[in-house]
Amino acid sequence: MAGACAMCAVGAFALVVSMVLGAGARFSGAPTASNGPSGTDGPLAPTADASEDAGVRAGGPLPGPRAHLQGRGPVAPGPEGSVPSQVPRGPAERLAAVSLEVIRLGEVSRRASRSYTEGHRAALEQLAERDRLRTALLGEQRLVSALRRSAGAIAAEQYRTGNMIGYTVRQSAAEGRKPLATVLAEAEKREGMLAARLRGAGRESRAMESDSATAASRIATLTARSARLQEERTYADRGLSAARGELQQLSQEASRDGSCGRLPRAVSTAARALAPAASPRGRWTRPVESYELSAPFGGEGTRWADGHTGQDFAVPVGTSVRAVGGGKVASVTCGDGFGISLVLRHRNGLYSQYAHLSAAMVRPGQRVRPGERIGLSGNTGNSTGPHLHFEVRRTPDLGSSVDPVSWLRRHGVRL
């Protein structure tokens, strides 16, 4: 029985991931729908915080930028090692496939952006090192020239007289008529030191020339790598924009028809493999990683009868929404002003709500950990632009909310 259940899990994973193979081809062109902010919910936050040059596939490299747009993710083999190729047809299947594609392309873009930022910083450091080496090399070359002139003067004197006497007499006169024996000893010592310093300066110059060439080579490599990462990010963002547009349309349909954008468990499993959620340091964390705060708690306006009951986070459609703390899913609802919405009950007896989602990745009664991905942000319900509406309540019902920003701050989380 256990073996059969394992095969079921693998089969479900393969089914959901195979949806992406059919859906990915739709995201290879220009954006088909606008998913930018509108109304009063504030501008979108950037999609990336910065990333390493690794692939979204666990332990593997980033696939080529064009492959990102063709849905090439980790695919579980079929019963005989073949890859399923069916195209999602129903709204629920399409929503699952598009949700997973948004997560995948978002991770590709995030990692490419972080790697690009790190590479750009490394290139700047190499440029500074190259300039430092060039300046130092110029100084060494000037020193070598001066040493060679001094050595040349001594050698010329020896050549003319066959000894150091004439040179010693002039140096004695120039240095306050020191005894000739002292000046001669100093001149011979200076000559030896001069020759040694000249040899050392030559070695330093050659080493600096080599280091400068190495720095220039590293700069060229980093520049080429940055250009490749920028291309990957551009292609991923283009596909991501198109996928977000379709996700927004499908989620609004799911909110209206009452299905509430609930995704199969296999989507959550695949999403964890494609883009593992970051583990918080403490028991509490932010509901989204990258964001821009928009409408605050207690705000007044025509959209809210009794003031704004939560804090809005302006984020693009499809941004991963995380549980701010451990607890149990109290409800998954849709169809009202909150659109697709989740409520969690935490161990301290308080509740947190996540509204205007495009998809729900948990079920009522399911236990969640702090930072676990529970849904995707959206623009459903009474919303004037893509954002997450976040509330903290004393009860699961509307009307018992507290200031979520202050509450999070008291629990060690600053926004």
What's the pLDDT score for residue 125? 86
Q: Percent of the chain, pLDDT > 70?
A: 65
8 A C-beta contact, residue 394 and residue 350:
yes
For the ranges 55-69, 213-227, 321-335, 374-388, which has the lowest average pLDDT? 55-69
**Angle between the N-to-C axes of helices 2-24 and 265-274, in degrees from 0 to 180, rounded to the nearest 10:** 70
Q: What is the pTM of this model?
A: 0.66
CA angle at 389 for the pair 384 and 395, rounded to the nearest 5°: 135
pLDDT score recorded for residue 49: 36
- The Cα angle at residue 89 between residues 259 and 262, in degrees rounded to 5: 25
Q: Of 164-168, 226-230, 304-308, 341-345, which range is least confident?
A: 164-168
Top pLDDT among 284 and 280 is at 284
**Digit-coded pLDDT (tens) for 94-112:** 999 999 999 999 999 999 9
Distance CA 267, CA 269 (A): 5
Res. 20 pLDDT band, cuts 50 70 90: very low
355-361: average pLDDT: 97
Instruction: With a cut of 70, say whether residue 184 has pLDDT above it.
Output: no
Per-residue pLDDT, 354: 98
**What pLDDT shows up at residue 240?**
95
Q: pLDDT category, 348, cuts 50, 70, 90?
A: confident
pLDDT surpassing 80 at residue 298: no
Provide CB contacts within 8 A for 390, sequence distance 6+.
Answer: 287, 310, 311, 312, 313, 324, 352, 353, 354, 355, 404
Question: Which one has a higher pLDDT value, 340 or 192?
Answer: 340
pLDDT, residue 261, reads 94
Tokens standing for residue 28: 């290879």
Give residue 172's pLDDT band: very low, low, confident or very high (50, 70, 90): low
Rounded to whole angstroms, what are the CA distances from 176 to 152, 165, 182, 185, 283?
A: 24, 17, 12, 16, 81
Q: Residues 242-253: pLDDT tens digits?
A: 999 999 999 999
pLDDT bracket for residue 54 (50, 70, 90) = very low
Task: Name which of 95-104, 175-184, 249-258 the model is least confident about.
Answer: 175-184
Per-residue pLDDT tens digits for 117-152:
888 888 888 888 878 877 877 877 777 777 677 666
Please tell me the predicted confidence (pLDDT) of residue 133: 77
Dihedral sign for Cα atoms in the order 248, 39, 313, 260: negative
What does the pLDDT look like over 391-415, one tens digit per residue? 999 998 888 899 999 999 999 999 8
3-state secondary structure 194-247: HHHHHHHHHHHHHHHHHHHHHHHHHHHHHHHHHHHHHHHHHHHHHHHHHHHHHH
The confidence band for 30, taking pLDDT boundaries of 50, 70 and 90, is very low
Q: What is the band of 324 on the pLDDT scale with cuts at 50, 70, 90?
A: very high
Residue 314 amino acid letter = A
Between 188 and 284, residue with greater pLDDT: 284
The answer to whether residue 71 scores a pLDDT higher than 70 is no
